[in-house]
Structure 1
Amino acid sequence: MPSISEMIDFLWRPPRKEPGAKRRPLDKRDPANAQYYHSWGFTVYRTYYSPGSDKHWETLADAMTRQTHLALGYHETELIYQEDQRQKWGLYADKSDYVDDINRLKKLFRLTVREDSSVLDGLDIPQIRELCRKELPEASKNIEGAKACFVFVADEAVLNDIARGVFVIKVVGYDWDEDRLRQGWMRIPTGNVLTFWESLLLWDFIDSDVYREIKDHWFGEESERYTWPGDASIYPTYGCSEAQTACHRNSSRFSQFRLDH
């Protein structure tokens, strides 16, 4: 699985040195060099705008951000810290440097929101793909550096799930060939946003076809009920970032965080 230091290295894009020019390597931890980090995350399309759905949309966007931050916090555990390659090589002065990198990843996380009822209301998955191919011709526009083209879609089914306290989002591959079998999209728990991004990086690192890796999770009509379980090679952080809507009768059940709803 990609470690914290590998994710940081992936997002670190300092200017290239001119051939023959001598220059000391830039310090990644110097605040003056923060501009050389690229953000990471996904574009989220909202395609459902019924009366009353605004609060569910806001709950969804808030949950994905908070859950992703909590999932990153899971990497602060001593076991994961000791397994980080930079720690093994003695390149972290102490754990505080490692935690600084985790906090940096939190700050670099972005959800690019696309909501415009005049353009997006009622669009289905093929129509979203067509729109994405026009708006996002390069994968790096929404997933930094990954060789895959994915966006999130909050449609009627997703926002109705949020209303019921089921926190999921649809992941849509917009470079998916419509002539292929299955449909090229799946549901994931909102607490697995980081896990999905880590999986994309892993598959990129090993030069594997992302659609081949997750082909067993495109289940046709079953996809409206099936939820991606995550990648077995990635630390399962979903349990530490689970979200549920508040319920006064059973408030003691919420061990992670709850969203007033």
Structure 2
Amino acid sequence: MTSFSPIAPHLLSQPLGFPSSHYPPEEGNRWVRHSLRDINEKSSFHDRQYSWGFTIFRTVYTPESDEAFPKAIEALHHFANSYATEEISVKPLRNHDPLDPAPNEELARRFYCDIVEDAKNINGASPDDVAKRFDIWVQEHLQPEGQNSMKMGRFCFCIMLDQQGIDHLLDLRTGEASRGPYRNRLKPYVKVVTEAANWNEEGGERFWLRVGIKGHLFGLAFGWPEDLDISELGNPDPTDGIHNMYGMWPFDS
């Protein structure tokens, strides 16, 4: 595990503020500074301190995936970097100073994922199988006092990376999925499995969903609002009932 130190105070948001919803935002009240503050404040509850990201469970083991899987992980890091730094690539409005890139670069630097590879036990695993392994991982890395606290998203969601997810990451990275209308770039997804507290009571199986890589995935790394039921994320697919959280709002396929 890469070791990270606490985030310097000058990179954080001002106290008692909320992320600005207009552009350009006040420099001290930008979403990226609030995200860094979130990382700092929640790091006492777990041993993946001062970072953000996911645990990734590899569920496909073939000669082709042996070559493609590392490239997919590289693509995931590329998109995390884009998520963290995209706003500073926007040309400033006339008579406005450029945004300070330091907090964006700091957020990008602190993206970290745990990779779980176990060909014997999770080759071809179902979401329920991955969920059980995820439960064990959470218990190993989340401090007891963090159980009832607002957690970083890595303890709420994990990525189940199968062949389809690998293909979507690589297609998006190479531009194969980015041709045509803008909405096409928001369709490639990975499968995300939820924490133990969110079992699907009706079917008895773990709640999981398809999450768009470009549009929605990285926001989940910071958890979700306290008053939101996780089953409200995405829309049920008309064919199989699995929640889709990709495409344009309010999530289309």
Pairwise TM-score range, normalised by the shorter structure = 0.5 to 0.7
Q: How does 1:150-189 map to 2 (within 5 A)?
A: 150-159=157-166, 161=168, 167-175=188-196, 176-180=198-202, 184-189=207-212
Q: Which residue of 2 aligns with 1:228?
A: 246
The letter of the residue matching 1:116 is: D
Secondary structure in structure 1 of the residue aligned to 2:240: helix
Q: How does 1:185-224 map to 2 (within 5 A)?
A: 185-192=208-215, 195-198=216-219, 201=222, 203-204=224-225, 207-214=226-233, 216-217=235-236, 221=240, 223=242
Percent identical: 15
Match of 2:126 among 121, 124, 127: 124
Secondary structure in structure 1 of the residue aligned to 2:113: strand
Is 1:40 aligned with 2:56?
no
Secondary structure in structure 1 of the residue aligned to 2:114: strand
Q: Which runs of 5 or more structure 2 residues have no equivalent in the other structure?
A: 1-17, 20-30, 178-187
Higher relative contact order (CA 8 A, sep 6+): 1
Which protein shows a greater Rg?
1
Deviation of 1:172 (Å): 1.1
CA RMSD of aligned residues (A): 4.0
Total equivalences in the alignment: 195
- Deviation per residue, 1:143-189 (Å, 9 max, x gap): 96359611001124333555765653111113231433596222223
Distance 1:202 1:185, change over 3 A: closer
Aligned mates of 2:223, 2:42 — CA distance in 1: 22
The letter of the residue matching 1:191 is: K
Q: TM-score, normalised by structure 1?
A: 0.59
Q: Which runs of 5 or more structure 1 residues have no equivalent in the other structure?
A: 17-36, 83-93, 233-261
Aligned mates of 1:172, 1:202 — CA distance in 2: 13
Q: TM-score, normalised by structure 2?
A: 0.61
